[in-house]
Amino acid sequence: MKNKYIPTAFGLYLNYLVHGMGVILISLNMPHLEQQWQTDAAGVSVVISSLGIGRLSLLLLAGMLSDRFGRKPFVYLGMVCCLGFFFGILGSQSIAAAYCFGFLAGMANSFLDSGTYPSLMEAFPSSPSTANILIKAFVSSGQFLLPMIISLLVWADLWFGWSFIIAAGIMLLNGICLFRYLFPAHPGKVVRENLAAEAPVVRTITQHACSLVDLTSYTLYGYIAMATFYLISQWLAQYGQFVAGMSYTMSIKLLSIYTVGSLLCVVISALLVRKTVSSTSLLMLYTFISFVALLGVCLYPSPNTVIVFSFVIGFSAAGGVLQLGLTLMAVRFPHAKGKATAIYYSAGSIATFTIPLITARLSQTSIASIMWFDTRVAAVGFLLALFIGYRNRKTRDNLLTEDELHVNDALRRPS
| Domain co-membership, 206 together with 355 | yes
Q: Can you tell me the distance from the alpha carbon of 306 to that of 284, in angstroms, rounded to the nearest whole number?
A: 23
92, 12, 1, 53: which is closest to 349 by C-alpha? 53
Residue 209 lies in a domain: yes
| Domain co-membership, 240 together with 332 | yes
| Domain co-membership, 85 together with 208 | no
Residue 189 lies in a domain: no
Q: Which residues does 365 contact at the CB level (< 8 Å), separation at least 6?
A: none
Look at residue 4 and give its three-state secondary structure: coil
Q: What share of the chain is helix, strand, coil (3-state, %, to 5)?
A: 85, 0, 15
Residue 190 lies in a domain: no
The CATH number assigned to the domain holding 57 equals 1.20.1250.20
pLDDT of residue 10: 92
244 φ/ψ angles, rounded to the nearest 5 degrees: -85, -10
| Span 73-86, pLDDT tens digits | 999 999 999 999 99
Q: Can you tell me the distance from the alpha carbon of 222 to that of 307, in angstroms, rounded to the nearest whole number?
A: 27
| Domain co-membership, 152 together with 295 | no
Distance linking the first and last C-alpha atoms of the chain: 39
| Domain co-membership, 325 together with 256 | yes
Residue 239 lies in a domain: yes
Last residue of a domain, one of 151, 184, 217: 184
Q: Can you tell me the distance from the alpha carbon of 290 to that of 315, in angstroms, rounded to the nearest whole number?
A: 9
Q: Can you tell me the distance from the alpha carbon of 316 to that of 130, in angstroms, rounded to the nearest whole number?
A: 16
Structural contact between residues 47 and 26, judged by C-beta atoms closer than 8 angstroms: yes
Residue 123 lies in a domain: yes
| Span 134-182, pLDDT tens digits | 888 888 788 778 878 888 888 888 898 999 999 999 999 999 999 888 8
Count of the separate structural domains present in the chain: 2
Domain carrying residue 138: 1-184
pLDDT of residue 406: 46
pLDDT of residue 271: 82
Beta-carbon neighbour count of residue 378 at 10 Å? 29
pLDDT of residue 167: 93
Residue 135 lies in a domain: yes
pLDDT of residue 204: 40
Question: What's the alpha-carbon Rg for the chain, to the nearest Å?
Answer: 22
| Domain co-membership, 340 together with 370 | yes
User: Average pLDDT by consecutive 10-residue portion of the chain (415 residues)?
Assistant: 82 92 81 88 77 83 85 92 94 91 91 89 82 83 81 87 93 92 71 46 44 89 89 82 85 80 84 78 92 94 92 83 85 80 87 78 86 95 94 74 46 47
pLDDT of residue 209: 53
| Domain co-membership, 346 together with 258 | yes
pLDDT of residue 136: 80
Q: Can you tell me the distance from the alpha carbon of 271 to that of 319, in angstroms, rounded to the nearest whole number?
A: 13
pLDDT of residue 186: 63
Q: Which residues does 343 contact at the CB level (< 8 Å), separation at least 6?
A: 60, 63, 215, 218, 219, 222, 329
User: Full-prediction pTM beyond 0.85?
Assistant: no
